[in-house]
Structure 1
Amino acid sequence: MRIALFVTCLADALYPDVGKAVVRLLERLGHEVVFPEAQTCCGQMHINTGYQREALPLVRHHVEVFEPFETIVAPSGSCVGSVRHQHAMVARRAGDERLAIRAQAVAERTHELSQLLVDVLGVDDVGAYYPHRVTYHPTCHSLRMLRVDEKPLRLLRNVRGMTLLELPDADQCCGFGGTFAMKNADTSTAMLADKMRHVVSTGAEVLTAGDSSCLMHIGGGLSRLRSGTRTVHLAEILAATE
């Protein structure tokens, strides 16, 4: 299968190893991965902070870039959530029904990584090997917007050498939420403290999730605690073989 990688801003700018891991993983499974170099921000940040008019050109550009591809994947529940649930809405509110229809078509072909693997490719054992104690945090957008459910856990349970540890109150938000963490710093910090306490209680060496943004937030807190627990994106674990 030919699959287009929608790498996301955060992976492109701060966590390039996540995008590389997606490529390694999918190529190992026998698929061709292409990277449309014209891609930019999908506009999620603008939409979530109320700047829908400013987001419209980004939505239009995203559609133009990814429209030629039948299958699109991103290592981010929040960015896929924006494409799936916001792009057509932004276009429609701007009075551009034709763009809304095109955006919806692209959205239906856009998948979060675990959804692509399990639902589209029919794989729950990717041949990974990762000999560490790991706990999994289901990010809000993947859990509530995309309904990925048990898919990441199904994939993790089949990773050889790994001990998967249950995270208490896993469905609680970590407190990041993009600009929420800046506009509501005290609340965000309290939510982060709860999440870190639960992570540390597992005794895990590694916390994984499907969104780099949440891992960045939690990982920053864990490093300040000197907890000894590091954060690793789901894609990097699934791409590991030694």
Structure 2
Amino acid sequence: MSSAESSSPARPRVGLFVTCLVDLFRPSVGFASVKLLEDAGCIVEVPDAQTCCGQPAFNSGDRATTEALVRGLLDAFEGYDYVVAPSGSCAGMLRAHVPDLFENDPATAARAREFAGRCHELVSFLVDVMRVDKVTASLERTATYHDSCSGLRELKVKRQPRRLLAGVEKLTLVEMAEPEVCCGFGGTFCVKYPQVSTRMVENKVQDAAATGAELLLAGDLGCLMNMAGKLERQGSPIEVRHVAEVLAGDLSAPPIGRPAGT
């Protein structure tokens, strides 16, 4: 991997924002993220005091809970050069919405803006900040990539994962007809509108299957679990994985949605 750009710290200190779903359902994504960040030259720490990013409460209109969670994060990630999350959804919340939370508290608002400016989605951080242009992974498979809504629309994450996946030795990347179309998860959307959500994920996995890919990749675990659940119920052989696992060259965990040994 290439070294950090000259304007960045020689070995930037990164606080890894693990995310709730990674912590509870897919720790392998966290370990893959640490490997990628350390390979890029970062010093990585995982603050014990971190909590949810506050997005579920924020989307549900619970401003008080959102603000309480974010105040805790401002303390937990104080002093890090960067805060990096393996999730466009959580990173989008931290970077795009946190700055607007404390309009009646100027001191905290200033801290929130400074904090948000240090927050990044994992793959975009590797490419755009650390200037990584090559990973050492090798995988003789065919994969397709789903653009998760928050990462794409709030953070402009599109070219970065494809750039790094293009450097995975022996991997063939094929595009879906509509890679940017929502998978139907949408956090609380799938709970509020289950019939619409179900139709959307059916369309998405059909699009993925039409590519002939063996792997379906994305950068958001919520989307991945949603698509994996539908594929598993259909009996599809397509494996679903977080892009970080492929880039780190570690597929030791079973595919998302499948028990170990399958």
TM, length-normalised to structure 1: 0.96
What amino acid sits opposite 1:126 in the alignment? V
Deviation (angstroms), 1:114 = 1.3
Contact 1:199–1:207 (8 Å) recurs in 2: yes
Number of the residue aligned with 1:123: 132
RMSD value over aligned CA atoms? Answer: 1.2
Q: Distance in 1 between matches of 2:177 and 2:106?
A: 44
2:231·2:238 contact (CA, 8 Å) conserved in 1? Answer: yes
- Counterpart mapping for 1:70-149 below 5 A: 70-92=81-103, 95-149=104-158
Counterpart of 2:159 in structure 1 is: 150
Moved over 6 A (4+): none
Residue 218 (structure 1) aligns with: 227
Instruction: Report whether the alignment pairs 1:65 with 2:98.
Output: no
Deviation per CA, 1:112-151, whole angstroms, max 9, x where unpaired?
0111111111012122212211100010001100012311
Aligned residues: 240
**Cα distance in 1 between the residues matched to 2:98 and 2:229:** 31
Provide the rounded CA distance (Å) in 2 between the counterparts of 1:201 and 1:213.
22
Alignment match of 1:38 (pick from 49, 52, 57): 49
Q: Deviations over 1:29-68 (max 9, x none)?
A: 3322111111111111100111112211101011111121
8 A Cα contact 1:4 1:71, kept in partner: yes
Distance 1:34 1:148 in 2: 24
Q: Using the alignment, how far apart are the partners of 2:126 and 2:39 within structure 1?
A: 12
Q: Distance in 2 between matches of 1:166 and 1:142?
A: 18
Q: Is contact 1:3-1:31 (8 Å) kept?
A: yes
1:215 and 1:241 mapped to 2: Cα distance? Answer: 17
Matched, 1:200 2:226: no
Residue aligning to 2:65 = 54
2:20 is matched with which residue: 2, 6, 9? 9
State the distance in 2 between where 1:241 and 1:182 align.
33
One-letter code aligned to 1:149 = K
Do the aligned residues in 1 keep the contact of 2:123 with 2:161 (CA within 8 Å)?
A: yes
Q: Deviations over 1:92-116 (max 9, x none)?
A: 2xx1121111111111111101111
CA contact (8 A) 1:130 1:241 kept: no
| Residue identity (%) | 45
Q: Distance in 1 between matches of 2:250 and 2:98?
A: 37
What is the CA–CA distance in structure 1 between the aligned matches of 2:100 and 2:250, rounded to whole Å?
A: 41
- Unpaired runs of 5+ in structure 1? none
Partners of 1:46 and 1:54 in 2: CA distance: 6
**Unaligned 5+ runs, structure 2:** 1-10, 252-262
CA 1:44/1:229 → structure 2, altered by over 3 Å: closer, same or farther? same
Which structure has more helix as a fraction of its residues?
Answer: 1
| Counterpart-to-counterpart distance in 1, 2:152 and 2:250 | 27
Report the CA distance between 1:241 and its aligned residue: 6.5
Q: For the Cα contact (< 8 Å) 2:40–2:126, is it kept in 1?
A: no
